[in-house]
Amino acid sequence: MGITTDDRKKRWALPEGYIPEESTGPEPEMESHETICILNPGEEDATVDVTVFFTDREPAGPFEKTIPAKRTKHFRFNEFEDPEKIPKGTPFASVLESDRPVVCQHTRLDSRQAENALLSTIAYPGDS
Amino acid sequence: MGITTDDRKKRWALPEGYIPEESTGPEPEMESHETICILNPGEEDATVDVTVFFTDREPAGPFEKTIPAKRTKHFRFNEFEDPEKIPKGTPFASVLESDRPVVCQHTRLDSRQAENALLSTIAYPGDS
Amino acid sequence: MGITTDDRKKRWALPEGYIPEESTGPEPEMESHETICILNPGEEDATVDVTVFFTDREPAGPFEKTIPAKRTKHFRFNEFEDPEKIPKGTPFASVLESDRPVVCQHTRLDSRQAENALLSTIAYPGDS
Amino acid sequence: MGITTDDRKKRWALPEGYIPEESTGPEPEMESHETICILNPGEEDATVDVTVFFTDREPAGPFEKTIPAKRTKHFRFNEFEDPEKIPKGTPFASVLESDRPVVCQHTRLDSRQAENALLSTIAYPGDS
């Protein structure tokens, strides 16, 4: 039931990234967050290396994430800790490299002001 | 007038999915909802199997949907009932497999707080 | 300077469409609207036929639009009049067919509640 | 670690563009803005020419931007100054042409009303 059936590595890119510094409303569901949603519809577990790019320093990572077969994982950048934390209030970008075909989508919930705002887009699928 | 003219199955993926648990405002138009909009611009009815993926259990479905020729259908995940309901407040993802070429777009209206928020993206078109 | 240089017809699809029935704030900038933004970066004027699909009736249109060379036009579905109006509060979808390569993006401003919400996505580029 | 490994020029298009005329909340983070986020995951600096298209006048630009190797830059259209400023409250579109492979994403924060709204989409990748 894979969305793709090739067995090449898959790369995805997200030029936009920003963790708002403040939040309004109950946590964790209304905490401001920047999320990468990864779907692994395949029969084998996928290991994804996330590299985070900044405007004025060397990239951070890779942050290694596992998405089991036939599962989805929605990771919040503000919960990244190893090898380092992603600073809030700072523009960044990310590239995902998976050893199995996966699909990635980007979502932000911004609750800095009293009412939350949302954005989402499918990430850019790179050449294998 | 089809957007695609090939007769192969079409697969679409949406790694993001989440039905907010609360709503503010009159129903059904302001009820929080997670929607897949499917367009069948072709001359023949399309049957779409929707499989829903979770973080920690086996996938649900398939949920079978029909989109008649030259019609669009906007399905709300919170109205899925057969073979089971999609729980609220739970991250999920979905894959759509159609027997005719269709186009899919994902939209969420989140009215948990007093003012609604919106997100939308074209789904990821998978290899046939 | 064209984003594409082929001279084939271009098709774009938008499965999501909905004109909110109410608005809050000064018109026209804060009026709820559903917009297709079309960019014609080429050297020749483009003629675009927009067909609108519904859930339970035959499609409407084509609505013929002209985008001059090296110009962009942002059309609001609520201003479509010929050959008919698009009803508010009704789900629809659209297909654009251009005689020149163009690029299409979909944006909604929803001001039904006191604070506006936004969504946007690049339309789905169909096979030529 | 490039998302793409070819060495051809890359073009990206954004048919939607609009800088809201008003803002609510502290600047610069809550000022209404229209942003292009560009990621250069490659080993060499990228030079990007941005051309801005309007509804009723000749295009503006090119605005030349540099994105160093392994960096991301998030440019706000309201800060474009050379060769000219982008007017507020005016529909526009943009095309980006890079001498190195980059990835582009479009984000708007609209704080005209008391609570901010967000939109985002990956830009449309043009033929090289």
Q: Where are the beta strands (DSSP E) in chain D?
A: 10-14, 33-40, 46-54, 60-67, 71-76, 92-98, 103-110, 117-122, 124-125
Chain B: which residues have CB within 8 Å of chain D? Answer: 115, 117-118, 121
At residue A19, the pLDDT reads 85
Q: How far is B17 from chain C (nearest CA, A)?
A: 16
Tens of pLDDT, residue by residue over D56-70, are: 999 999 999 999 999
At residue B109, the pLDDT reads 73
Q: What CATH number is given to the structural domain containing B117? A: 2.60.290.11
* More reliable by pLDDT, C50 or C7: C50
Q: How many structural domains comprise chain C? A: 1
Tens of pLDDT, residue by residue over A71-105, are: 999 999 989 999 999 998 899 999 999 999 999 99
Q: State the complex-level ipTM.
A: 0.85
Give the integer Cα–Cα distance in Å for A60 and A53.
7
Mean pLDDT of A44-55: 96
At residue C93, the pLDDT reads 95
Q: Which residues of A touch C117 (CB under 8 A)?
A: 117-118
Q: Where are the beta strands (DSSP E) in B3-123?
A: 10-14, 33-40, 46-54, 60-67, 71-76, 92-98, 103-110, 117-122
Percent share of chain B, pLDDT over 90: 53
Q: Which of A6, A104, A117 sits opposite B15 (nearest CB)?
A: A104
Mark residue B45 as left, alpha or beta (left: phi above 0; alpha: psi -120 to 50; beta: remaining): beta
Please indicate whether, in this complex, the C-beta atoms of B117 and C114 are within 8 angstroms of each other.
no
Which of C16, C103, C128 is best to mutate for the D interface (most D CBs within 10 A)? C103
Q: Which residues of A touch D125 (CB under 8 A)?
A: 124
Please indicate whether, in this complex, the C-beta atoms of B117 and D117 are within 8 angstroms of each other.
yes
Tens of pLDDT, residue by residue over C83-112, are: 999 998 899 999 999 999 999 998 877 666
Q: Which residues of D touch B121 (CB under 8 A)?
A: 121
Percent share of chain D, pLDDT over 70: 77
CB distance B58 to B52 below 8 Å: no
| Average pLDDT value over all residues in chain D | 83
Specify the range with the lowest mean pLDDT, choosing from A11-15, B43-47, C108-112, D107-111: C108-112
CB distance C128 to C11 below 8 Å: yes
Which of B29, B30, B39, B124 is best to mutate for the C interface (most C CBs within 10 A)? B39
pTM attached to this predicted model? 0.87
Q: Which of D11, D16, D97 sits opposite C120 (nearest CB)?
A: D16
Q: A79 φ, ψ to 5°?
A: -105, 0
| Average pLDDT value over all residues in chain C | 83
Chain B: which residues have CB within 8 Å of chain A? Answer: 11-18, 21, 51, 53-56, 58-59, 89, 91-93, 95, 97, 106, 108, 110, 112-115, 117-124, 126-127
Q: How far is D5 from chain C (nearest CA, A)?
A: 20
Q: C-alpha angle with apex C28: C23 to C29, nearest 5 degrees?
A: 85
Tens of pLDDT, residue by residue over C4-30, are: 444 345 889 999 898 877 666 666 666
At residue A127, the pLDDT reads 56
> What is the domain range of residue B63?
5-125
Helix ranges, chain D (H): none
CB distance C116 to C110 below 8 Å: yes
